[in-house]
Copies of this chain bind each other. A is one copy, B any other.
Amino acid sequence: MPFTLILNNISRYIQLSEIEKKIFTGYLEAKTVKKKQLLLTEGEICKYSTFVTAGCLRGYTVDKGGVEHVLGFAPPDWWIADMYSLITQKPGTLYIEALEDSDVILLSKINQEKLYLEIPKFERFFRILTEKSLVANQQRIVDNMSLTAEERYSIFCKRYPTLIDHLPHKQIASYIGVTPEFFSRMRSEMLKKK
């Protein structure tokens, strides 16, 4: 059953009848992506909310100097999208890339809107999902303003213990907002201390 994980994800916030589950899964598309493959690039209109069932994705932007900035990672059981573009249906700035071979489930914007009409509970689900994401993002803003790179890294390690293992350092550096060079020095400093 390829939709077990996503149904379980949703059941954490709303309860669906068997019929509703059928309707919902009918709107989904399973897909596999290979490492380094892009699900979305800058300038594109984001047409899908993506749910990861295996592997790992990342969302990032590229600034005018060509430097990448990781906005977030999406390991299994996570949702990812260019929220700006998805909402406005205007060209966005986010790249979504597979960091490794991954399995994802796509829910198109159109089907998402249908869901809202046919099963209003989904309004609730996505409201809660968005609220949680908002809280995490607000915390990150505060952390970026008030903590040193070292403290931000410590927090990252605690919050995403499963990710640190198999993520390139470069990507973690980009997420916490430092250069790979500084990240490398920082880590060796931290090892010395402990």
Contact = CB atoms under 8 A, between A and B. Distances in A.
A83 B135 contact: yes
A142 to B, nearest CB: 5
A134 interface: yes
Contact of A137 (B69, B93, B141): B141
A84 interface: yes
A61 interface: yes
A127 interface: yes
A139 B138 CA distance: 11
Interface in A47-72: 61, 63, 65, 67, 69, 71
Nearest to A61: B142
Given A69-B145, A69-B146, A145-B177, A138 B63 contact: no
Interface stretch (A22-30, A116-124, A155-163): A116-124
A15 interface: no
A140 interface: yes
Given A87-B131, A145-B177, 17 more contacts: A61-B146, A69-B146, A71-B138, A71-B141, A71-B142, A93-B142, A116-B124, A123-B124, A123-B127, A126-B127, A127-B130, A130-B130, A130-B134, A137-B137, A140-B141, A141-B144, A144-B145
Nearest 5 Cβ contacts at the A-B interface = A127-B127, A63-B146, A123-B123, A137-B137, A130-B130
